[in-house]
Structure 1
Amino acid sequence: MTQSRRLRWAVPAVVAVTVAGAVLATSAAADPTPAGLAPRTAAELLADLAAPTTDALSGTVTETADLGLPELPGSAAGSLGPLTLISGTHTLRVWADGPSRSRVALQGQLAEYDVVRSGRDVWTWSSEKSGAAHLVLPERTTAPPLPVDVLGTPAQAAAAALAAVDPSTAVTVDDAVTVAGRAARQLVLTPRGSGSLVGSVRIAVDASTNVPLRVQVFAAADTTTPALEVGFSDISYSTPDAALFTFTPPAGSTVTEIAAPAAPPGPTSGPRGPRPTVTGTGWTSVVELSGVDVAALTQGRPQLLDQLTTRVAKGRVLSTALVSVLLTDDGRVLAGAVPPAALEAAA
């Protein structure tokens, strides 16, 4: 459980470092604004994203992942939950009211997985397992302008893409688009150098509210079809019913209390053991976590390793269109938006 909690901190770090790296070397050119929108520079769009004019919304989000992963049978993929999002197309319902009240429901054909936050209380609920988990966030947690600490939303993806700012990325604007019936400007992040699996990231920003409406990540090997896309298909800025953010486990359900991490992971060891370290910069950064029980990560489904990874000299490699992960034989996990050979060299 300790290793699992540390990996939950490592995953957003991998995304932020390897799919981000936005630089403030902005383009002076504005988008052609076919919808008649006032021109905005890339610098202005970056400022817009940091200052949404509303913190209440609800809508439907479609998430599509085409990462080149093999199709998993139901028994291997497990129940509906975050792991489900790594492949295929999925629908989520999203509600938010302020920086600390949010709800996301990942919907399946016969099941639903919910993440509900109200203040410091966070609940997850699986209808398949009739199980709930409860987490109390530390008091020092500061919330972003919109709730980005929930599963699979455009705001979450945009925040990850903009989390690291350095000179490794060109930031420009592209043609205005319409997303979920809303006029939106597009911010484009493109790696300046070579070596990254990511070709570009496009963020569609609502022209009226500055809310991220869609994020598309293109692989360097295919710049025409997004390898990962998360975006609203419909959206409303009306304040959701407050009852949506109150969760009570149904009678007869199993409830698990989860201890919050003592602190976000840093480059040194702490009371909870080794923490992730980062080597390199920008789009070719590599995140490493040591002391990992790889067998425990499969949660009783060891066939996942055989189906998702390939044996290499130092361990096993998971290779996707955007990110590679190396599980070494000595209990380390290395990940980055780089080819597997780069991870082996880093190891």
Structure 2
Amino acid sequence: MAPYESDESITASETEVPRGRRRAARYVVPLAVTGVAVATIGLVPALADSGSPDLPEISAEQLVQNIAESDTEQLSGTVRINTDLGLPDLGGLESGLFSGAASGGDGGEGSAADPSTRLTELVSGSHTLRVAADGPDRQKVSLLQEAAEYSVIHNGKDVWGYDSRSNEVHHSTSGGTGEAEDVPATPKDFAEEALKAVDETTSVTVDGTARVAGRDAYKLLIKPRQSGSTVGAISIAVDARTWTPLKFTLTPAAGGAAVVDAGFTQVDFGKPAASTFDFTPPKGAEVTEQDAAEQGEGGFEPGEGDLPFTPGEDLGQGAEGMDTIGEGWNAIAVLDTGGEGIPSGEEVGGDFGGFLDSLGDKASGKFGSGTVFKTRLINALVTDDGKVYVGAVTKDALVKAADSHR
């Protein structure tokens, strides 16, 4: 059978995805990329499709159901991450910001092995990961670097971060509550969030077949029906035997390269060796212990990554002062900071001031004036009186929302 396209489109009622979780996903998917939420480990991009295998036809509804019912808990493999938010060249500022974050931002009190800060480097560029999982209590993700490696190991209640370059170790405990604290490590994590976004504003179709990491796969295509969203389409390659997502690609409405291209280059669905998840701090390593109180104040937890609020009808209940305008993929989160907006790059000065200016465009309307900070996916309007409008929508949509919210 030749590659095929299905005209069949499904809606929220057919996918049986909880409504509140669907709305949250519209923010989680793009904002997880921008803010490196989802512990950023979840960004697992991949190689291009190779071939179009001959597979039996399947409906979009059945493919979504198969993904939801997949019981894959054991795997290992190599993943390629390519993330292109369209951020300007920081001229060295980027590495300075990240190293400052890794040291606690105060001159060196933090650990270079702390996952909550170290993994922010995955927000841009290309990276290679080795991943392994054996159920909800054992996962390992290793970020391969030139002559070095950074790993996060979750084994039972223990979460270890290890930076081979600095020989530093970060240790915390996850509480051992199982799947809720699972370390995201494969395209399945992103696929699940994308499927939660399916409702009447979304088109879901089967878009032919592909070969990914040497395995036959169906391609599921998710597209907003609404205009004004910066999200063009989400493509998910789904393994035809295990129904595990192998590749996740998010392309912007404006065209060009994918914002996130996530997929396996090699995968094995066998049980990883138990020793894969063993970890003992190397001799001479500097070990930082993160106590429970620190973890409750923003420390890393495996599986962490959803936004600290639920968009849609529940948005205002999750964060004080939060509101929402619009619905579907065009929903815009609104926050009144009570402040005086963002200072201009000229006011800030230095490299960071130049960075602010490179991101921002001046905007004005009935709401007054402000600055739109932009990426290829997420745009945010910060008004001079301290209101923030943010969403995966165009600049014009943000200005219109601000005008209507006066």
User: One fold, TM greater than 0.5?
Assistant: yes
Q: Which of the numbers 13, 27, 31 marks the counterpart of 1:14?
A: 27
Matched, 1:76 2:94: yes
Matched, 1:114 2:151: yes
Q: In the alignment, which residue of structure 2 is the partner of 1:254?
A: 288
Q: Which runs of 5+ in 1 are unaligned?
A: 1-10, 20-32, 296-300
Structure 1 CA distance for aligned equivalents of residues 229 and 158 of structure 2: 38
Structure 1 CA distance for aligned equivalents of residues 277 and 383 of structure 2: 41
Matched, 1:283 2:329: yes
Q: Which of the numbers 230, 245, 258 marks the counterpart of 1:212?
A: 245
Q: In the alignment, which residue of structure 2 is the partner of 1:336?
A: 391
Map 1:168-187 onto structure 2 (within 5 A): 168-187=201-220
When residues 188 and 113 of structure 1 are mapped into structure 2, their CA distance, relative to the original with a 3 A threshold, is same
Q: Compute the TM-score of the two structures, normalised by the length of structure 2.
A: 0.65
When residues 92 and 332 of structure 1 are mapped into structure 2, their CA distance, relative to the original with a 3 A threshold, is farther
Answer yes or no: is the 8 Å Cα contact 2:236–2:248 preserved in 1.
yes
Map 1:1-347 onto structure 2 (within 5 A): 14-16=27-29, 34-77=52-95, 78-79=98-99, 81-128=118-165, 130-137=167-174, 142-143=179-180, 147=182, 149-150=183-184, 153-222=186-255, 225-250=257-282, 251-257=285-291, 258-260=294-296, 265-266=309-310, 267-268=315-316, 274=320, 277-288=323-334, 302=352, 305-306=355-356, 309-310=359-360, 312=362, 316-327=371-382, 334-347=389-402
- The residue type equivalent to 1:199 in the other structure is G
Aligned pairs, number: 314
Answer yes or no: is the 8 Å Cα contact 2:172–2:289 preserved in 1.
no
When residues 150 and 54 of structure 1 are mapped into structure 2, their CA distance, relative to the original with a 3 A threshold, is closer
Task: Answer with 1 or 2: which has the greater Rg.
Answer: 2
Structure 2 CA distance for aligned equivalents of residues 108 and 315 of structure 1: 40
Q: Which moved more, 1:284-293 or 1:197-206?
A: 284-293
Answer yes or no: is the 8 Å Cα contact 1:100–1:118 preserved in 2.
yes
- The residue type equivalent to 1:87 in the other structure is S
Q: Can you list the C-alpha shifts for 1:164-198, whole angstroms capped at 9, x where unaligned?
A: 33211110001110000000001000111201011
Structure 2 CA distance for aligned equivalents of residues 330 and 259 of structure 1: 34
Q: In the alignment, which residue of structure 2 is the partner of 1:6?
A: none
Q: Which moved more, 1:127-136 or 1:63-72?
A: 127-136
Answer yes or no: is the 8 Å Cα contact 2:156–2:176 preserved in 1.
no
When residues 34 and 106 of structure 1 are mapped into structure 2, their CA distance, relative to the original with a 3 A threshold, is closer
Q: Compute the TM-score of the two structures, normalised by the length of structure 1.
A: 0.75
Q: Can you list the C-alpha shifts for 1:10-50, whole angstroms capped at 9, x where unaligned?
A: x977234879xxxxxxxxxxxxx952222111001101111
| Backbone CA RMSD of aligned residues | 3.7
Answer yes or no: is the 8 Å Cα contact 1:118–1:245 preserved in 2.
yes
